[in-house]
Amino acid sequence: MARTLTFKIFRYNPTKDNDEPHIDTFKLEETPRLNLFTALHRIRENQAPDLMYDFVCRAGICGSCAMMINGRPTLACRTLTADLADTIELYPLPFFKLLGDLSVDTGVWFHDMAKRLESWIHTTKEFDPTAEEERMDNTTANKIYESERCIECGCCVAACATAQVYPDFLGAAGLNRVGRFLFDPRDTRGEQEWFELVSTDAGVFGCIGMMACDDVCPKDLPLLEVFSYIRRKMNAGVKVAVTEMDLPA
């Protein structure tokens, strides 16, 4: 028999005078293969026309719809109600600026992160439209792609203990981005430059190793491997720096 689902949804509209954060409850009949994309649209279109949330691709690709679903950050579009109990609690992701109800401003945070990390290929080469492309072996291309698969949904940051107490922390998404460019032979940044960028509390040494990020990442990015790679690299960087200091003047 079809279930009647109970949705308990966090509501708050910061543009509305005197609004207070609260929980609204909605009932919805479950239909076969119902996911939270369809469920939330049904609630909005029939019960709560001002309900705010974000979906774009509704296919698990664009990273818009991450939210706390029964206490766990994940993508709403590909969460099936069949996998959840009768009562479903939805909250916005913590850490990010709240825009309203379940909608948070991940876009601006990720844009700023890209800027901080200078998330682009650093090279002095100019593009030559008449030349053959620079060669790269396919294994390297695949390795870059592994980290490039991040969809900036923010689940890792929402799940991160460090990020909740230290807002400057780059989070797994930021460190993964560092890894992506470290792996890329086209990027000419040297170890010293990377060291200055990420060997701080906001970077790789802020991580306390609980690895909730790795548990919740909807794209199964190899975050453990990327972190240990960066740490090894940075430790090598420290050694170089110490040796330099030890040199007689």
Encoded one letter per residue, x for contact with another protein by CB under 8 A and - for no contact, window 105-124 reads -xxx-xx--xx--xxxx---
* Residues making up the chain, counted from first to last: 249
- If one asks whether residue 151 binds another protein (CB under 8 A), the answer comes out as yes
Binders of another protein among residues 13 to 72 (CB under 8 A) are: 13-16, 32-33, 35, 44-45, 49-52, 54-64
- If one asks whether residue 132 binds another protein (CB under 8 A), the answer comes out as yes
Among 18, 25, 142, 243, binds another protein (CB under 8 A): 142
Encoded tokens for 70: 């029964």
Q: Provide the minimum distance between the beta carbon of 4 and another protein in the complex, in angstroms, as a whole number.
A: 20
Binders of another protein among residues 187 to 216 (CB under 8 A) are: none
State which residue, 51 or 90, has the beta carbon closest to another protein: 51
State which residue, 57 or 85, has the beta carbon closest to another protein: 57
- Site for another protein (CB under 8 A): how many residues? 61
Q: Provide the minimum distance between the beta carbon of 138 and another protein in the complex, in angstroms, as a whole number.
A: 4
- If one asks whether residue 148 binds another protein (CB under 8 A), the answer comes out as yes
Tell me which residues touch another protein (CB under 8 A).
13-16, 32-33, 35, 44-45, 49-52, 54-64, 78, 99-100, 103, 106-108, 110-111, 114-115, 118-121, 125, 127, 129, 131-138, 140-142, 144-145, 148-149, 151-152, 184, 186
